[in-house]
Amino acid sequence: MKFGLRYCNTGRYIDPAKAVELVQAGEEAGFESAWTVEHTVVPEGYQSAYPYSDDGKMAGGHDDVPLPDPLIWMAYVAAATSRINLATGILILPQHNPVITAKQIATLDFMSGGRVLLGIGVGWMREEFEALGVPFDDRGARTDDYVGAMRALWSQEKATYDGEFAKFKNIYCRPQPVNGSVPIIIGGHTKVAARRAGRLGDGWFPARGAAPELVALARKTAEENGRDPDALEITTSLPDDMDQIPALAAAGVNRILVPVTPMAGLATRISNPDDVKNWRDILDKYADL
Protein backbone atom coordinates (compact mmCIF):
# COMPACT_ATOMS: atom_id res chain seq x y z
CA MET A 1 0.00 0.00 0.00
CA LYS A 2 1.23 3.48 -0.94
CA PHE A 3 0.35 6.61 1.01
CA GLY A 4 0.19 10.17 -0.28
CA LEU A 5 -0.40 13.64 1.15
CA ARG A 6 -3.49 15.41 -0.19
CA TYR A 7 -4.45 19.08 -0.79
CA CYS A 8 -0.81 20.11 -0.48
CA ASN A 9 -1.14 23.45 -2.31
CA THR A 10 -3.91 24.74 -0.04
CA GLY A 11 -4.21 26.41 3.36
CA ARG A 12 -0.97 27.19 5.15
CA TYR A 13 0.99 25.42 2.42
CA ILE A 14 0.52 28.19 -0.11
CA ASP A 15 3.43 29.74 1.82
CA PRO A 16 6.65 28.69 0.03
CA ALA A 17 8.62 27.81 3.16
CA LYS A 18 5.77 25.80 4.67
CA ALA A 19 5.21 24.01 1.35
CA VAL A 20 8.81 22.84 1.25
CA GLU A 21 8.72 21.86 4.92
CA LEU A 22 5.60 19.76 4.37
CA VAL A 23 6.87 17.86 1.34
CA GLN A 24 10.33 17.31 2.79
CA ALA A 25 8.74 15.92 5.95
CA GLY A 26 6.53 13.67 3.84
CA GLU A 27 9.51 12.39 1.89
CA GLU A 28 11.45 11.68 5.08
CA ALA A 29 8.51 9.88 6.70
CA GLY A 30 8.03 7.62 3.70
CA PHE A 31 5.02 9.11 1.96
CA GLU A 32 5.10 8.09 -1.70
CA SER A 33 3.46 11.20 -3.19
CA ALA A 34 2.20 14.74 -2.58
CA TRP A 35 -1.06 15.74 -4.34
CA THR A 36 -2.26 19.15 -5.44
CA VAL A 37 -5.63 20.52 -6.62
CA GLU A 38 -6.66 23.08 -9.22
CA HIS A 39 -9.07 25.91 -9.88
CA THR A 40 -7.57 28.60 -12.09
CA VAL A 41 -10.36 30.99 -11.12
CA VAL A 42 -13.48 30.78 -8.96
CA PRO A 43 -16.17 33.20 -10.14
CA GLU A 44 -17.97 34.96 -7.31
CA GLY A 45 -21.38 33.52 -6.56
CA TYR A 46 -21.02 30.52 -8.87
CA GLN A 47 -24.21 28.48 -9.23
CA SER A 48 -22.74 25.20 -10.50
CA ALA A 49 -23.17 22.49 -7.87
CA TYR A 50 -20.00 21.11 -6.32
CA PRO A 51 -20.56 17.33 -6.47
CA TYR A 52 -18.99 16.43 -3.11
CA SER A 53 -21.01 18.50 -0.62
CA ASP A 54 -24.64 18.66 0.44
CA ASP A 55 -24.95 22.39 -0.20
CA GLY A 56 -23.25 22.35 -3.60
CA LYS A 57 -20.42 24.61 -2.45
CA MET A 58 -16.73 23.94 -1.98
CA ALA A 59 -15.46 23.69 1.58
CA GLY A 60 -14.87 26.91 3.48
CA GLY A 61 -17.84 28.84 2.12
CA HIS A 62 -15.60 31.36 0.34
CA ASP A 63 -14.97 31.96 -3.34
CA ASP A 64 -11.65 33.74 -2.83
CA VAL A 65 -9.57 30.96 -1.24
CA PRO A 66 -5.91 31.21 -2.41
CA LEU A 67 -4.99 28.24 -4.59
CA PRO A 68 -1.58 28.30 -6.31
CA ASP A 69 -1.22 26.81 -9.78
CA PRO A 70 -0.53 23.11 -9.12
CA LEU A 71 2.24 22.63 -11.70
CA ILE A 72 4.20 25.67 -10.58
CA TRP A 73 3.76 24.69 -6.93
CA MET A 74 4.99 21.17 -7.77
CA ALA A 75 8.01 22.53 -9.64
CA TYR A 76 8.92 24.66 -6.63
CA VAL A 77 8.90 21.78 -4.14
CA ALA A 78 10.48 19.36 -6.64
CA ALA A 79 13.68 21.38 -6.41
CA ALA A 80 13.77 20.81 -2.63
CA THR A 81 13.10 17.04 -2.71
CA SER A 82 14.52 14.00 -4.45
CA ARG A 83 12.23 10.95 -4.00
CA ILE A 84 8.61 11.83 -3.33
CA ASN A 85 6.30 11.79 -6.36
CA LEU A 86 4.38 14.95 -7.24
CA ALA A 87 0.79 14.58 -8.39
CA THR A 88 -2.21 16.59 -9.49
CA GLY A 89 -5.46 15.50 -7.96
CA ILE A 90 -6.78 16.83 -10.19
CA LEU A 91 -5.77 19.03 -13.14
CA ILE A 92 -8.89 20.13 -15.06
CA LEU A 93 -7.53 18.94 -18.38
CA PRO A 94 -10.12 20.32 -20.86
CA GLN A 95 -9.29 23.85 -19.66
CA HIS A 96 -5.69 23.48 -20.88
CA ASN A 97 -4.07 23.51 -24.30
CA PRO A 98 -2.85 19.90 -24.60
CA VAL A 99 0.39 20.70 -26.43
CA ILE A 100 1.47 23.31 -23.89
CA THR A 101 0.37 21.08 -21.01
CA ALA A 102 2.25 18.09 -22.42
CA LYS A 103 5.37 20.27 -22.65
CA GLN A 104 5.00 21.54 -19.08
CA ILE A 105 4.35 18.10 -17.61
CA ALA A 106 7.21 16.49 -19.55
CA THR A 107 9.60 19.24 -18.50
CA LEU A 108 8.67 18.87 -14.84
CA ASP A 109 8.95 15.09 -15.06
CA PHE A 110 12.33 15.32 -16.79
CA MET A 111 13.76 17.82 -14.32
CA SER A 112 12.42 15.99 -11.25
CA GLY A 113 13.78 12.62 -12.34
CA GLY A 114 10.49 11.02 -13.40
CA ARG A 115 8.40 11.92 -10.35
CA VAL A 116 5.19 13.29 -11.91
CA LEU A 117 1.76 11.66 -11.65
CA LEU A 118 -0.93 13.41 -13.70
CA GLY A 119 -4.37 13.17 -12.14
CA ILE A 120 -6.98 14.67 -14.45
CA GLY A 121 -10.67 15.48 -14.37
CA VAL A 122 -13.28 17.02 -16.63
CA GLY A 123 -14.34 19.79 -14.23
CA TRP A 124 -17.75 20.75 -12.84
CA MET A 125 -17.88 24.56 -12.61
CA ARG A 126 -19.43 25.96 -15.79
CA GLU A 127 -18.66 29.54 -14.73
CA GLU A 128 -14.94 28.79 -14.54
CA PHE A 129 -14.95 27.39 -18.09
CA GLU A 130 -16.78 30.50 -19.29
CA ALA A 131 -14.21 32.79 -17.65
CA LEU A 132 -11.44 30.88 -19.43
CA GLY A 133 -13.23 30.93 -22.78
CA VAL A 134 -13.43 27.12 -22.95
CA PRO A 135 -16.59 25.21 -23.96
CA PHE A 136 -18.18 23.35 -21.05
CA ASP A 137 -20.57 20.89 -22.68
CA ASP A 138 -17.96 18.96 -24.70
CA ARG A 139 -15.44 18.72 -21.85
CA GLY A 140 -15.64 14.90 -21.63
CA ALA A 141 -14.84 14.30 -25.28
CA ARG A 142 -12.22 17.05 -25.15
CA THR A 143 -10.54 15.35 -22.19
CA ASP A 144 -10.34 12.01 -23.97
CA ASP A 145 -8.86 13.65 -27.06
CA TYR A 146 -6.30 15.64 -25.08
CA VAL A 147 -5.07 12.49 -23.34
CA GLY A 148 -4.35 10.92 -26.73
CA ALA A 149 -2.60 14.04 -27.94
CA MET A 150 -0.35 14.30 -24.89
CA ARG A 151 0.63 10.65 -25.02
CA ALA A 152 1.56 11.06 -28.66
CA LEU A 153 3.81 14.00 -27.80
CA TRP A 154 5.42 12.09 -24.95
CA SER A 155 6.05 8.83 -26.77
CA GLN A 156 6.56 9.50 -30.49
CA GLU A 157 9.92 10.51 -31.88
CA LYS A 158 8.18 12.92 -34.27
CA ALA A 159 4.63 13.31 -33.06
CA THR A 160 1.53 13.21 -35.23
CA TYR A 161 -2.03 13.26 -33.94
CA ASP A 162 -5.35 13.78 -35.69
CA GLY A 163 -8.13 14.11 -33.14
CA GLU A 164 -11.39 15.99 -32.88
CA PHE A 165 -9.94 18.83 -30.81
CA ALA A 166 -6.16 18.43 -31.15
CA LYS A 167 -4.28 18.06 -34.42
CA PHE A 168 -0.59 18.24 -35.29
CA LYS A 169 1.82 16.58 -37.70
CA ASN A 170 5.52 15.77 -37.50
CA ILE A 171 6.39 17.92 -34.49
CA TYR A 172 9.13 17.56 -31.93
CA CYS A 173 8.30 18.13 -28.28
CA ARG A 174 11.39 17.90 -26.09
CA PRO A 175 12.23 16.93 -23.44
CA GLN A 176 10.09 13.84 -23.19
CA PRO A 177 9.21 12.15 -19.87
CA VAL A 178 11.88 10.08 -18.19
CA ASN A 179 9.96 6.80 -18.52
CA GLY A 180 8.49 7.43 -21.97
CA SER A 181 5.20 8.72 -20.60
CA VAL A 182 3.59 10.10 -17.43
CA PRO A 183 0.98 8.03 -15.56
CA ILE A 184 -2.49 9.50 -16.14
CA ILE A 185 -4.91 8.97 -13.27
CA ILE A 186 -8.59 9.66 -13.93
CA GLY A 187 -10.41 11.50 -11.16
CA GLY A 188 -14.11 11.38 -10.38
CA HIS A 189 -16.58 9.33 -8.33
CA THR A 190 -19.05 8.43 -11.08
CA LYS A 191 -19.70 5.58 -13.49
CA VAL A 192 -18.55 7.84 -16.31
CA ALA A 193 -15.21 8.45 -14.57
CA ALA A 194 -14.78 4.75 -13.79
CA ARG A 195 -15.37 3.88 -17.44
CA ARG A 196 -12.97 6.60 -18.59
CA ALA A 197 -10.34 5.20 -16.25
CA GLY A 198 -10.86 1.73 -17.65
CA ARG A 199 -10.68 2.95 -21.25
CA LEU A 200 -7.65 5.17 -21.10
CA GLY A 201 -6.29 5.69 -17.57
CA ASP A 202 -3.24 4.28 -15.87
CA GLY A 203 -5.15 4.72 -12.65
CA TRP A 204 -8.42 5.88 -11.12
CA PHE A 205 -8.95 8.32 -8.24
CA PRO A 206 -12.52 8.42 -6.92
CA ALA A 207 -12.70 11.44 -4.62
CA ARG A 208 -14.88 9.82 -1.97
CA GLY A 209 -13.80 6.26 -1.42
CA ALA A 210 -13.41 3.42 -3.90
CA ALA A 211 -16.92 1.92 -4.08
CA PRO A 212 -16.47 -1.79 -4.97
CA GLU A 213 -19.04 -1.65 -7.77
CA LEU A 214 -17.24 1.28 -9.40
CA VAL A 215 -13.84 -0.40 -9.07
CA ALA A 216 -15.35 -3.47 -10.73
CA LEU A 217 -16.79 -1.29 -13.50
CA ALA A 218 -13.41 0.36 -14.13
CA ARG A 219 -11.63 -2.98 -14.34
CA LYS A 220 -14.36 -4.52 -16.52
CA THR A 221 -14.12 -1.56 -18.91
CA ALA A 222 -10.36 -1.98 -19.08
CA GLU A 223 -10.77 -5.63 -20.02
CA GLU A 224 -13.41 -4.78 -22.63
CA ASN A 225 -10.93 -2.37 -24.21
CA GLY A 226 -8.14 -4.93 -24.42
CA ARG A 227 -6.26 -3.56 -21.43
CA ASP A 228 -4.95 -5.32 -18.32
CA PRO A 229 -7.53 -4.66 -15.58
CA ASP A 230 -5.05 -5.49 -12.84
CA ALA A 231 -2.68 -2.77 -14.08
CA LEU A 232 -5.22 -0.05 -13.23
CA GLU A 233 -3.92 1.59 -10.06
CA ILE A 234 -6.64 2.65 -7.60
CA THR A 235 -6.16 5.68 -5.33
CA THR A 236 -8.65 6.67 -2.64
CA SER A 237 -9.14 8.72 0.51
CA LEU A 238 -8.01 7.70 3.98
CA PRO A 239 -10.98 5.99 5.68
CA ASP A 240 -12.30 7.36 8.97
CA ASP A 241 -11.37 4.06 10.59
CA MET A 242 -7.83 3.05 9.66
CA ASP A 243 -8.61 -0.54 10.58
CA GLN A 244 -10.42 -0.59 7.22
CA ILE A 245 -7.13 -0.23 5.32
CA PRO A 246 -6.48 -4.00 4.99
CA ALA A 247 -9.97 -4.43 3.51
CA LEU A 248 -9.27 -1.65 1.02
CA ALA A 249 -6.05 -3.37 0.02
CA ALA A 250 -7.92 -6.65 -0.43
CA ALA A 251 -10.43 -4.81 -2.65
CA GLY A 252 -7.62 -3.67 -4.94
CA VAL A 253 -6.81 -0.19 -3.63
CA ASN A 254 -3.15 0.66 -4.23
CA ARG A 255 -2.79 4.13 -2.72
CA ILE A 256 -4.43 6.06 0.14
CA LEU A 257 -4.31 9.85 0.42
CA VAL A 258 -4.17 11.65 3.76
CA PRO A 259 -5.61 15.22 3.92
CA VAL A 260 -3.26 17.91 5.24
CA THR A 261 -5.88 20.70 5.12
CA PRO A 262 -9.70 20.62 5.37
CA MET A 263 -10.21 21.14 1.64
CA ALA A 264 -13.38 19.74 0.02
CA GLY A 265 -14.98 19.08 3.39
CA LEU A 266 -12.63 16.26 4.47
CA ALA A 267 -11.24 16.30 8.00
CA THR A 268 -7.57 17.22 8.31
CA ARG A 269 -5.61 14.14 9.39
CA ILE A 270 -2.20 15.84 9.42
CA SER A 271 -2.07 19.37 10.81
CA ASN A 272 1.60 20.27 10.40
CA PRO A 273 4.94 18.85 9.24
CA ASP A 274 5.66 17.46 12.70
CA ASP A 275 2.49 15.38 12.41
CA VAL A 276 3.78 14.05 9.08
CA LYS A 277 6.87 12.67 10.78
CA ASN A 278 4.71 10.85 13.32
CA TRP A 279 3.13 8.79 10.53
CA ARG A 280 6.28 6.77 9.89
CA ASP A 281 5.10 3.83 12.04
CA ILE A 282 1.67 3.85 10.39
CA LEU A 283 3.20 3.73 6.92
CA ASP A 284 5.49 0.89 7.96
CA LYS A 285 2.54 -1.03 9.42
CA TYR A 286 0.64 -1.09 6.14
CA ALA A 287 3.53 -1.03 3.66
CA ASP A 288 3.30 -4.72 2.79
CA LEU A 289 -0.44 -4.83 2.06
What pLDDT is attached to residue 216?
95
Q: Are 39 and 13 in contact (CB under 8 A)?
A: no
Report field, pTM of the whole predicted structure over 0.85: yes
pLDDT tens per residue across all 289 residues of the chain: 999 999 999 999 999 999 999 999 999 999 999 999 999 999 999 999 998 888 888 876 568 889 999 999 999 999 999 999 999 999 999 999 999 999 999 999 999 999 999 999 999 999 999 999 999 999 999 999 999 999 999 999 999 999 999 999 999 999 999 999 999 999 999 999 999 999 999 999 997 778 899 999 999 999 999 999 999 999 999 999 999 999 999 999 999 999 999 877 778 999 999 999 999 999 999 999 9
What pLDDT is attached to residue 60?
61
CATH 3.20.20.30 correct for 2-286: yes
What pLDDT is attached to residue 64?
87
- Strand-pairing partners, residue 185, are 119, 203
What pLDDT is attached to residue 151?
98
Domain boundaries, the chain: 2-286
What pLDDT is attached to residue 235?
97
**120-132 b/e with 16+ CB inside 10 Å = b?**
bbbbbbebbbeee
SS3 205: strand
